[in-house]
Amino acid sequence: GAGVSQSPSNKVTEKGKDVELRCDPISGHTALYWYRQSLGQGLEFLIYFQGNSAPDKSGLPSDRFSAERTGGSVSTLTIQRTQQEDSAVYLCASSIRYRGGTEAFFGQGTRLTVV
Amino acid sequence: GESVGLHLPTLSVQEGDNSIINCAYSNSASDYFIWYKQESGKGPQFIIDIRSNMDKRQGQRVTVLLNKTVKHLSLQIAATQPGDSAVYFCAERGGSNYKLTFGKGTLLTVNP
């Protein structure tokens, strides 16, 4: 596709259930980021994938959160045993690893509501 | 101003005025910087970028200034319009892994 695609766009889940959020980056982009954004707040870094390097997981808030990136393309963010404080918009971005500098392109996000 | 946790600093301006949004970055080795605009309900979108070998870059109604001495980045918006109301994020790229690090953001409100 032409841009970063995230699915679903909205997800309502019951407390305690597991959820999977999907990100399809721009084709050829080697870098992929996951961010979390609560209403009216800034971007909270979660995880960064860069090519075949070990991912930077320093932003994952707890061991309930995990992410993988299969074949260097599609990424899935999994939240186990969801809690109400997990409610937020989850944003994915991708970019090319390029010395000259290039911006990251964001998807529209997945709005997660835990009830 | 300073933010607490992820709560956003705010800037309120009158339509037609110039706006200046500031960002302090942390990594003196960062070599590339970007400003993003995020409108309500949307993902952040690229506005303008600048490399560390420059101190100023101009776009359409926007100018980015980079002061490496004090690790400060600013975004100037000329003749601010209601459509400029949004959250603005700066981002820096540093380190060998090319990771982009985002600032906390500033909420700009333009009053008609």
* Mean pLDDT of chain A, nearest integer: 92
Chain A contact for B35, CB < 8 A?
A: no
Q: Are B62 and B74 in contact (CB under 8 A)?
A: no
Residues of A in contact with B45 (CB under 8 A): 106
Q: What pLDDT shows up at residue A101?
A: 66
Chain B contact for A30, CB < 8 A?
A: no
CA torsion B75-B78-B79-B81 (nearest 10°) is -40
Distance between CA atoms of residues B20 and B85, nearest Å: 13
Q: How far is A15 from chain B (nearest CA, A)?
A: 24
Q: How far is B95 from chain A (nearest CA, A)?
A: 11
Tokens 């074949």: give the residue.
Answer: A71
Q: What pLDDT shows up at residue A41?
A: 81
Distance between CA atoms of residues A41 and A10, nearest Å: 19
Which one has a higher pLDDT value, A103 or B58? B58
Q: Collect all residues with Cβ–Cβ distance below 8 Å to B32 and sequence separation of at least 6.
A: A101, B49, B50, B51, B52, B92, B93
Condensed to tens digits (0 to 9), the pLDDT of residues B70-104 reads 999 999 999 999 999 999 999 998 766 778 888 88
Test B99 with A56 for CB contact under 8 angstroms. yes
Residue A76, φ and ψ in degrees, nearest 5 = -125, 130
Condensed to tens digits (0 to 9), the pLDDT of residues A66-109 reads 999 988 799 999 999 999 999 999 999 998 866 666 788 999 99
Distance between CA atoms of residues A109 and A7, nearest Å: 8
Which one has a higher pLDDT value, A59 or B95? A59
pLDDT at B3 over 50: no
pLDDT at A54 over 70: yes
Which range is least confidently modeled, A13-22, B48-57, B100-109? B100-109
Distance between CA atoms of residues A103 and A24, nearest Å: 17
Condensed to tens digits (0 to 9), the pLDDT of residues B16-47 reads 999 999 999 988 889 899 999 999 889 999 99
